[in-house]
Amino acid sequence: MLSKQIEWNGATFTLRRGTVRDRLMVNSVVGKLGIDLDYTEDFAGKRLFARLIVQGQADGDWGFTLPAITDNEEILLASFEKFLDLDGGLYDELETALYEVDKSLNDPDLLPAEIVPEKND
């Protein structure tokens, strides 16, 4: 799967498969957001948010404006704070969608049926 759409309260979020460039841009955004190394969840949330900015496109009202990767730290942090107030179920859906679009290309679910090796049980 190279892209996935999520609909929520009439808004649509489209996530696409990441590239090497995207991975580097995610690191840049996370760096701008700052990381509390004593708080692991801080990094996970900021990394997911950075991936949404880099790999996503939001259409409709999400309750916050998805910033650009070139925005300054103040704008990124303000948007991140609004993102934190969204419904937790939406976070789970976005996290799952990013996992699905970034699966290994060798994952059997992404290969044509005729080349997937049969399992020997």
Strand 56-59 relative to strand 11-16, pairing: antiparallel
Selection from 59, 64, 91 nearest residue 75 by Cα: 64
Give me the count of residues in the chain: 121
Residue 97: C-alpha distances to residues 4, 39, 79 (Å): 6, 25, 21
Region 77-100 average pLDDT: 92
**Cβ-based neighbours of 43, under 8 Å, separated by 6 or more:** 30, 35, 36, 37
For the segment 56-86, what is each residue's pLDDT rounded down to a tens digit?
A: 999 998 888 889 999 999 999 999 999 999 9
pTM given for the model: 0.80
Domains of the chain: which residue ranges? Answer: 3-104
Mean pLDDT on 99-105: 83
Of 106, 91, 58, which is closest to residue 67 (Cα–Cα)? 58
| Angle (nearest 5°) at CA 66 between 61 and 34 | 140
What tokens appear for 89 in the block? Answer: 């179920």
